[in-house]
Chain A
Amino acid sequence: MATGNGNRKSPSNAVKIILVIVAVVFLISWISKATTGMADSTWLNIRDGFLITFAAFLTLSIFSFLYNDNPFYKFAEHLYVGVSAAYWMCLGFWSIIVGNFVPHASKTLSTFFKVPFQEYSWFYYVAFAFGVILLMRLLPKAGWIARWPLAVIIGTTAGFNLSRYLHSDFMSQVGNTFQPLFVDWQGAGHFFSNLSLAADGQLVMSAGNWIVVVGVLCGLVYFFFSKEHKGMFGAASRLGIWILMITFGASFGYTVMGRISLLVGRITFLFDDWLSIL
């Protein structure tokens, strides 16, 4: 089992040899990529060769996690965490602080960052002040004051989502379920004379609507907390959980295709962009 990686002693010779081999392989790849590059200058070829090789190395390092945790995965993971954390911080700084706050706060700063000044807005100063208050967290004595911005955010979230969810998930979903139980009804005679199990037939389409209505009702019964699921109620709740299980199974099956596409994409990168064997 993969769990049984045991207590391997400090890096053995085998590990060192593997490290060396991997280094050599990727070095060769870099050189060959650099010499076969298509760019205008040698420097660009060397750079692009390195970048492609490095991306391939990172890709394989992550894949190696499937075998077991190992130094390559650890390296890739730690690099990923560091670089991506900084990536998001820089984006936050440039888009929010410089992009939104500065144009409403200071002409001098706007000129400095070369963003068009818009107009002074007290609101941005309040937000800025609360941001500073949040940083009080760093001071041991005044840490509690940092709860204020949190209270504002949680209050906003609670208040706004209350109405929004009630609108889009409650009202709309209830309203969407209003559908006739018989599709294209043209009288009982027509219904029975055209009876068939064809996928686009009246019977199957109507059965679909029945399933939706009964399914939603039973699904809701399953979620009842304060009533014991016994007798009729219990039966409905059981039907409800079955409907939920079909939902989960179907969604799972449907998603597989998308997930495989991702793998196809990575393998194509390795075979085509890196090894050029496709």
Chain B
Amino acid sequence: MTQIIASHASVWTIMLPFLSGVLCFMAGRRIGTLIGVVTAFILTILTLNLGVSVFQSGPSRYAIGGWSSPLGIDIHLDGLSVLMLGFTAIVGTCISMYAFGYFKDRKGLKKEKNKHYAKMGTYFWPLWFFAWGGLNVLFLSSDIFNIYVALEIVSFSAIALVALKGSVDALLSATRYFFLTLLGSLVYLFGVGFLYSAYGVLDLGLLETVIRPGMISTVAITLMTLGLIIKTALFPIHFWLPPAHANAPAPVSAILSGLVVMGSFYLLVRLWFETFTGVIMPVAGQLLGVLGAIAILGGALQALRQSRLKMMLAYSTVAQIGYMFLLFPLLAGNSIGQGFAWGGGIYFSISHACAKAAAFMVAGSIMYALGHDRIKDFRGLAQRFPIGVFAFALAGMSLMGLPPSGGFIGKWMLLKAAMLTGQWWYALLIVAGSILAACYIFRVLEITLKAANPGEKALHIPLRMQLSSLAMSFFAILLGLAATIPLEILKIDSPVFFQSMEGFIK
């Protein structure tokens, strides 16, 4: 384990969101919005800086309170955590810019309705920054109980954001989300309890050294995995996700589908492939793979049946979560494909965050202007809202996995891993899922490309919203063009077997 002391910059990336969340709450909407946008940019710069320093000097740890790990809590920085941190910052900045336009006073709206948006804007910023801060705590913490608290922060703020709209649908999906996510965290906490009573340490790095296969370890990892699966909304516990993601205001949908999902998935990956490597049985990985497979097909089929765009995107998230879980069976076997599986799974989750955030932003812009998101009424949208449809098409490319997008790289690596480990059925599944994804994306694009009815003018959407969704979708494509940089970062202190990937990266 590396013992280089990290700079205080890592603390700032965690604490700055909380600090500005508090300031946003104190300052009210107008100043709060400004604080929010400025913080988002500062955070991006900070995390990029942190990424560079990790890239140059390798992984590091930071002892909070000066008590290092068994007694206190450590922050650890390695390739995976810095990558997650960085993409949260990039996606988060785009979402912040988008929200900057979204919650502004709107022309042509009734005064009351505008007041509603103003109130939503007031509370959006503190809640969003607490979610962001919670995610940063989660990515950097190396203490399993500290991670529990971080998970609770993320879920509470996510639930409050879902309920922000105040409509019955929003309240209902927030309540359902709440019960499930709380169940998930309690089950996770039980797993933490088992681990601590068996080994007497909470630090991930120390646990890795003392953990032994056996009844207790199996029970603990099973409980923690169950809890995190509930939180990530893998099939069969996915039913809460679509209403929650679809009924929220657009920036919130982007946060949930893009970032919050990534948080619990990240933790699961870290637990499975760093801490519990010796404990996990291959059959468990296969089980998660089967669930993922059902999620891919079921989610995509459900997405095809939806008549509302946001609902369709939410079901698409269910399917894409399935792809992320293919990482587990592909990695469980000990062979040459593991590097591809590891890289592919992580890469897929990152590019999904970018693409899905972009798609939800466009869907939100359309709702903003049209007041609805019924797909069948999208006729002529390509003429009336060209930037949005273009951004949606780019994001769609990544969701389908067309080259040269980030989604393509992720899927390609997973495919390669499936072939190399001899599990060809997963390769078939990946292809089938992509075809289904193409169906639901092209269904939307086809309608928007039809000629507009005469007399319909261009949509009036604030430029900030248009540009931020466009930037987000460019990122989703850029991830495909410049795949080496994220993969190189991922390699730093990576737990698995990157040697086999050397050739691919170069």
Does B associate with A?
Answer: no
